[in-house]
Amino acid sequence: MYAKWGKAKVFIQSIPLSLLPHKNTFFTMSPIILFKLLGSLALLMFGMKLMSESLQKMAGSQLRHVLGTMTKNRFTGMLTGVFVTASVQSSTATTIMTVSFVNAGLLTLAQAISVIMGANIGTTLTAWIIAAGATFNITDFVYPAFFIAVILIYSKRRRSVGDFIFGVAFMILGLGTLRQTGIDMHLGEQQVVLNFFSSFDPNSFLTTITFLFLGSLLTMSVQSSAAVMAITMILCSSGVLPIYQGIALVMGENIGTTVTSNIIALSANVQARRAALAHMFFNFFGVIWVLCIFHPFVDMVCSWVNYDTTLQKGDALFFENAAKLNFVLAAFHTAFNVINTGILIWFIPQIERFVSYVIKPKKRDDEDEFRLRFISGGILETPELSLLEAQKEITYFGERMQRMFGLCQQLLNLKNEDFVKMYSRIQKYEGISDNMEIEIAKYLDQVSELHLSPESKAKTRAMLREISELESIGDACFNIARTINRKLAGNEHFTEAQKQRMYQMFLLVDTSLTQMNELLSGRKSDFDPHKAYNVESEINNYRNQLKNQNIVDINNHEYNYAVGTMYMDVVGECEKLGDYVINVIQARLGGKQR
């Protein structure tokens, strides 16, 4: 054994020192540096998320109003997307919001495409913020911001402002820590890192495609193009990553960021999926034309920032020149999206036709099956959007209940197989109303666990009252159907006079339901509640009139007592249904329950 070790020792000693690995050959990273890198990225992503959400809470209804009204043409739609994205600092949030509005029917597909184009321009502000943050120690401004935010966050009225300042502070702290961590890693002195990137030919088209794919993959993984942009800037400014590979990573980020909106749209309707596909098409188209003129285009952007692409490591001005790379990346990101928008904004109708051709509508959904149309599979990032989806679902709930009442009216004149089929449909609708109440309530319960403003909490409570009363409308409709079924099973018949009076009552109730649905689908300020109360008073007075007339008709032997009882059961359920309608209206308007 010792003989073998001696031979090995002699062999090792005989190896020339030039062949042994140098201490800088391997890229070593201490656990502290690794955790600082991951933690600073997490701070950056969390800060941007908190800042975006708090801004949307402060201006939730205003943002909806801006997106809904400032999209009259393609240019105002584009400017709206720029404004909103620059405000919330998240193109993903704007895109998801836009897709949700298309799903809810508040925006057309053409309007959504123009907003998404603007969102791509608005998100370039983030790159400039990151680039500026790398030029000086911005963390000096963090601690006063934290102090102010803590004071505001304990104020009920200013809590969202405190959250916003917290988000900005966390984002700045993340950027500053990320910058310092990049310096501490000494990437420019790590030979293995330099060898890895230098192994790629910067003039090769395959290299560009490889880094483009890598940028897409990283962005899809972390779901934050800002985080990947920050990493790219660290690598480029440290002299490790050549400019052409860095630009390819930025192009990949533009593709990777489209994945989120497409995932969200999977559970949405056809128009929403088309809007998400248009977002992906926009970025893919931009990448394709840039690849065709890649090196001349990058050289042009570099000339804008006065960056010299010919300097090599070892030159006197290399690191001073490399410090400009952050602004080169930001300038490229802006130029890419502005030029791409300038080209495609003239072809929005053609893009609309293309995505409509790719995503074709499915066969018409069966209205007799339970399905939520607007609430997607999970809670959206912002409560405002979640409440909007819930409100649209409640509107659809109200429309279904009016449709169910219409089926009850038809039931009065049907017999035999037609009666059985119609009664079965009404029975299925009753089950649908139960399921819709449960599923919407579950969704609102999840939303209520989020950080809601007092106004949003009040909306949630009102919506819970609305769905409870809508389900009661479904119960009243089914009770009417069961009464008619009981009459038929007992071989009893309503007189023509009774039918005419019930038709008159049905007409009043249907008018009441129409007014309820107008309120649910429109603005509260445009609704006149006095009309609804007048109809409800007519229903009550007519019920009392029919009640008195029923006693007279039974005494005059117009029909027997059993028929009179079933007749008044139908009339009574109609009167209850009118009360439930008023309860829905009062819940929406913020009044007290009857």
Q: What is the DSSP string of 42-69?
A: HHHHHHHHHHHHHHHHHTHHHHHHHHHH
Please give the CATH topology (third level) of the domain spanning 383-589.
Methane Monooxygenase Hydroxylase; Chain G, domain 1 (1.20.58)
Contact yes or no for 348/142 (Cβ under 8 A)? no
CA torsion angle for 431, 433, 436, 437 (degrees, to 10)? Answer: -110
Q: Is the pLDDT of residue 1 over 90?
A: no
**What is the pTM assigned to this prediction?**
0.60
CB 32 within 8 A of CB 183: no
Predicted pLDDT at 182: 61
The pLDDT confidence band at residue 414, using thresholds 50, 70 and 90, is confident
Please give the share of the chain, as a percent, with pLDDT higher than 90: 21
Chain mean pLDDT for the chain? 78
Residue 492 gets which letter from DSSP? -
Q: Name the residue among 381, 593, 570, 420 with its Cα closest to residue 494.
A: 570
Q: Average the pLDDT over 466-495 and give the result.
A: 91
Euclidean distance between CA atoms 498 and 567, whole angstroms: 7
Distance CA 287, CA 334 (A): 13
| Half-sphere exposure of residue 483: CA atoms within 13 angstroms, side-chain side | 23
Phi-psi region of 89 (alpha: psi -120 to 50; beta: other; left: phi over 0): left
pLDDT digits (tens, 9 = 90+) for 16-41: 444 334 444 444 556 777 777 778 77
Residue 42: per-residue pLDDT: 78
| Collapsed DSSP state (helix, strand, coil) of residue 551 | helix
Task: Delimit the domains of the chain by residue range.
Answer: 31-358, 383-589
Strand partners, 313: 315
More confident residue, 402 or 416: 402
What is d(CA 274, CA 358) in angstroms, rounded to the nearest whole number? 8
3-state secondary structure of 313: strand
Q: Which of 418-422, 536-540, 587-591 has the lowest mean pLDDT?
A: 587-591
Q: Render 157-197 in DSSP notation, one character per residue.
A: TTHHHHHHHHHHHHHHHHHHHHHHHHHHTTGGG-HHHHHHH
In this prediction, residues 552-573 reach a mean pLDDT of 92
Whether residue 569 is predicted with pLDDT greater than 90 in this model: the reply is: yes
Q: What is the pLDDT of residue 117?
A: 87
Residue with the larger pLDDT of the pair 353 and 224:
353
Q: Which two tokens stand for residue 183?
A: 């310096």
326/355: higher pLDDT: 355
- Cα-Cα end-to-end distance for the chain: 97
* pLDDT value for 551: 92
Report the range of poorest mean pLDDT among 103-117, 375-389, 549-563: 375-389
514-526: average pLDDT: 87
* Rounded Cα–Cα distance for residues 102 and 200 (Å): 44
pLDDT tens across 160-205, in order? 788 878 877 887 777 777 666 666 665 555 555 556 666 677 777 8
The stretch 269-284 carries a mean pLDDT of 83
